[in-house]
Structure 1
Amino acid sequence: MNLFPPAEGAPPGFRYEEDFISREEEQQLIAHIRELPLQPFQFGAYEGKRRVVSFGSRYDYTRHAVKDALPPPDWTLSIIARVEQFGGPGSAPIRQVLCTEYEEGVGIGWHRDKAHYGDVFGLSLASECTFRFRRAAGKGWQRFHLDVEPRSLYMMSDESRHVWEHSIPPVASIRFSMTFRTLAAGN
């Protein structure tokens, strides 16, 4: 595995590692995700184009709170342990695993993950995507983007997690991701 230091201009607290998993592991994870009961992403009265399923916990957009979800399947446990290790000494344990399918032409708009969650890790599978960041800077935006490769892992903590927004423009081909979240203090 090659650990790449943040590229120039990357938000503080953002880390990225290519080839976090092998091609064989990637294919196994994709096969498992394809077998899951993925449902269109619901946020309030709106339905997103991506399909998801949560384990451990889920965010309830109606109650604006984190709720329990089914425990993570056994096939996720070793990857959860590796992601926690990537978080470094003293990192909080992973409390949510979100599996997502993005069909060709689907992306995700500008947002910050809910404040109920702490650090956020993303494992990209099947195809690359462009991961975009922005934050207000005077009358404009300070921006950063990174082409995220399949099998890579990113981590957002500190400013990259709490100050910067992020988005993914529509993908060129089907993409899967596994998002791992810790809980914020007090949740």
Structure 2
Amino acid sequence: MPTAADQFDLFGKARASLPDGLRYAEGVIPADKAGRLVAAFADLPFQAFDFHGFKGHRRIVSYGGRYDFSASRLESAEPIPDFLLPARAAAAAFAGLEPEAIHHAMVTEYAPGAGIGWHRDRPEFDKVIGLSFGSEATMRFRRRVAAGWERASLPLAPGSAYLLDGAARQDWQHSIAPGERLRYSVTFRTLR
């Protein structure tokens, strides 16, 4: 089975390499467990993502910590709830971590047309593990090189997981392209 780094186009030519430090796997969360999680998301107290007063099209709820962009600091938040602990365990196993090493979880709801612009996660965080639910999405990557931007993209299937570590975490920016259908993600982060 090809890995994320072995991407090919329709004509069998290798596409741009994905960043070092990026891992991806499908089927990390089985469909039946994913369905139960998505059903539980309906009861969460989502709020519009707020970046210095700009309200994003996606809605979030954070656990274990919440980054306050106005104050530029990580603040405490409610602990990761019990219903997310099996997902945290699966994310930790995928990343080769103990579940207790993951102190932060953020559930994001992407309405049709919502995405995330180019960014790197805040420096207070270390490893970033994402789980995808609902519809597919495209995760895009870019980094500045002498000739402009080096770019790559990765389709995220429902039930899949990705890990951003090393160069993928530190040297590359990432974004999520706007989708056409409702999608959820759970992002787990370790602290530096």
Superposition map of 1:11-160 within 5 A: 11-88=19-96, 93-160=101-168
- CA 1:89–1:168 in 2, change beyond 3 Å: closer, same or farther? closer
Partner of 1:71, secondary structure, is coil
Residue in 2 that maps onto 1:6: 5
Residue 158 to residue 106, structure 1, CA distance change in 2 (3 Å): same
Q: Give the match's secondary structure for 2:128.
A: strand
CA distance in 2, matches of 1:32, 1:90: 24
C-alpha displacement at 1:3, in angstroms? 8.5
Inter-CA distance 90–29: structure 2 relative to 1 (3 Å threshold): closer
RMSD over aligned Cα atoms:
1.7
Post-superposition CA distance 1:101-136 (Å, at most 9, x none)? 000111111111111100001101000011100001
CA contact (8 A) 2:134 2:184 kept: yes
Extract structure 1 runs of 4+ deviating beyond 2 A.
Answer: 2-8, 89-92
Q: In the aligned structure 2, how far is the partner of 1:95 from the partner of 1:44?
A: 24
Q: Give me the whole-angstrom Cα distance separating, in 2, the residues matched to 1:100 and 1:38.
A: 8
**Relative to 1, partners in 2 of residues 1:91 and 1:160: Cα closer, same or farther, differing over 3 Å?**
farther
Cα 1:3–1:20 shift into 2, 3 Å: farther
How far apart, in 2, do the equivalents of 1:37 and 1:151 lie? 23
Contact 2:28 2:90 in 1 (8 A): no
The answer on whether the counterparts of 1:44 and 1:62 sit within 8 Å (CA) in structure 2 is yes
5 Å matches for 1:168-183?
168-183=176-191
TM-score by length of 2: 0.90
Would you say how many aligned residue pairs link Structure 1 and Structure 2?
183
Relative to the length of structure 1, the TM-score reads: 0.92
Q: Give 2:19's aligned amino acid.
A: P
Q: Give the deviation of 1:92 after TM superposition.
A: 7.6
CA distance in 2, matches of 1:84, 1:161: 17
Q: Can you give the 5+ residue segments of structure 2 that lack an aligned partner in the other structure?
A: 8-16
Structure 1: 5+ residue stretches without partners: none
